[in-house]
A and B are shown apart, each in its own frame.
Chain A
Amino acid sequence: MIWHNIKVGFHRLGSPPVFHRLCQVVAPWLWLAAAICAAFGLFKALYLVPPDYQQSDSFRILYVHVPAAWQAMAGYLVMSVLAVIALVWRIRTTEIMAMMGAPIGAAFTAICLATGSIWGRPMWGTWWAWDARLTSMLVLLFVYLGIMGLYAAFEDKRKGARVACILILVGLVNIPIIHFSVEWWTTLHQGSTISFFGESSMDSSMMPPLIWMVIATKLMFGAALLDRSRNELVEQDRRKGWVRQKLGASA
């Protein structure tokens, strides 16, 4: 019985008005939670964590760089799952969500590249290196841009979304390459210092703010995804009855 209710509830999310309502209710809470986590994390990161023994205060950019990098990849995984659902079951709201993940993911990728570059200048002595991880991250940015461009180029948004979903799945090959690039190629970027299944090589006092920031970026991604999807849905359905009803006849 409970399972039945869950299934019905899930199917109802395919309906634009229901989805619109859900986004409207959930997104502000996600934003609030993200703001609290980020405020907490940034305060700890900037004031409570002791300076690094080698990099002194400049390592603190890590608390933006690493969560952004993880979110850039996690966002792609979320989009891939949505793309599979969209292609198999052809649920329109899922198609829209898969498409709206791209600009957010691209923003996180750009933040990761920019902060990495700023961090690299004093530590490595260069803004940019053609290192395996940097290059694969740059490739990820272009995959995101390609998805956005492809979707935007179609007149028929549903068709565009489904075609771009195929591209999402093809581009998925890049994610393991990014993840393992520091192990497969020994170049400038350091290997993983944070391990979930063993001892991290980072000092334990540096960990808590990072965890807060990671949670904050996850929440931010979710909130932005819901907001964007809601806007796109209203934009596409602007001539339909439910939007007029919801936003008044002037819409």
Chain B
Amino acid sequence: MTRAMLALLRRDLRLAVRHGGESLMPLVFLFAVLILVPLGVGPGPNLLSAIAPGMVWVAALLASLLALEHLFRPDLDDGTLEQWWTGETPVGLLVATRLFSHWLITGLPVILFAPVAAQMLYLPDRALGTLMLTLLIGTPLLSLIGGLASALTLGTNRGSVLLSILIFPLVVPVLIFATGAVSAAADGLSARAHLGLLSALLILAVTLIPLATTAALRLNIE
């Protein structure tokens, strides 16, 4: 069981490394958005530091959408996905592994580069820790929700537009609590209530979304 999961994880990561530039696209996109913001709204530090929590999060959210189209599609096309149901490993665990590798590839780099992003938008230093913490809790949520949406749209041929419509309502709470936490920290207030709710969302999503995703995948390969 763990062997199958580890093999899948290794395969996904190896593919990501060999694709190189393609795997870096979410990160490049994130910084492209963050560079456009000061050019669009003006470089004044006061304005930028006020909108920094929201902008970093919106950019992270948009960046997470990029790789979703290819989350399950290649495996569906070459028949690998059907093989998941023939093995003895519960498919829910394989789905969870796939989502975890998606997070490692798209979510983790965003967290690592968050200090740079925060500096670009003059986020107050005392909020940096909270920003990284919200990204640590929130980006897995983005991967989970995105994974579900990509599994739901797998059987359609116009996935990408639909994908964003499905994801948008589901990520609203994530965005609200995450930016609420960072804004509170930037104002010198306690962010614990927001972080608690964000963590609660993550726990709910981790337990339920792999199951829903598995059900959706199964319907789509039938």
**CB-CB contacts below 8 Å: A117-167 with B:** 135, 139-140, 142-143, 145-146, 149-150, 153-154, 156, 159-160, 162-164, 166-167
CA distance A69 to B150 in the complex (A): 30
Which one of B12-20, B86-94, B114-122, B214-222 is at the interface? B214-222
**Residues on the A chain within 8 Å of B162, using CB:** 146, 149-150, 153
CA distance A146 to B153 in the complex (A): 11
Determine whether the beta carbon of B153 is less than 8 Å from that of A153: yes
Q: Given A139-B172, A149-B165, A162-B219, does the pair A170, B155 have CB atoms closer than 8 Å?
A: no
**CB-CB contacts below 8 Å: A150-195 with B:** 150, 153-154, 156, 159-160, 162-164, 166-167, 169-171, 173-174, 177
Determine whether the beta carbon of A142 is less than 8 Å from that of B155: no
B173 close to chain A: CB less than 8 A = yes
- Tell me, rounded to whole Å, the shortest Cβ–Cβ distance linking B208 to chain A: 8
- The dominant DSSP class at the B interface is helix
Determine whether the beta carbon of A153 is less than 8 Å from that of B158: yes
Determine whether the beta carbon of A159 is less than 8 Å from that of B219: yes
Determine whether the beta carbon of B152 is less than 8 Å from that of A145: no
Determine whether the beta carbon of B152 is less than 8 Å from that of A150: yes
Determine whether the beta carbon of A146 is less than 8 Å from that of B169: yes
Q: What is the interface size of chain B, counting residues whose CB is below 8 A from a CB of the partner?
A: 22
Q: What is the interface size of chain A, counting residues whose CB is below 8 A from a CB of the partner?
A: 26
**CB-CB contacts below 8 Å: B132-159 with A:** 148, 152-153, 155-158
**Residues on the A chain within 8 Å of B219, using CB:** 159, 162-163, 166
Q: Chain A: which residue is nearest B165 at the CB level?
A: A146
Determine whether the beta carbon of B212 is less than 8 Å from that of A150: no
Q: Contact flags (1/0) for B35-61 with A, using CB distance below 8 Å?
A: 000000000000000000000000000
B170 close to chain A: CB less than 8 A = yes
CA distance A139 to B174 in the complex (A): 13
Residues of B within 8 A of A (CB): 148, 152-153, 155-158, 162, 165-166, 168-170, 172-173, 204, 212, 215-216, 219-220, 222
Additional A-B contacts beyond A146-B169, A170-B212, A171-B169 (4; CB < 8 A): A140-B169, A142-B168, A150-B152, A150-B153
Q: Give the 9 A-B CB pairs with smallest separation, nearest first.
A: A153-B156, A142-B169, A139-B169, A146-B166, A143-B169, A146-B165, A162-B219, A166-B216, A163-B219
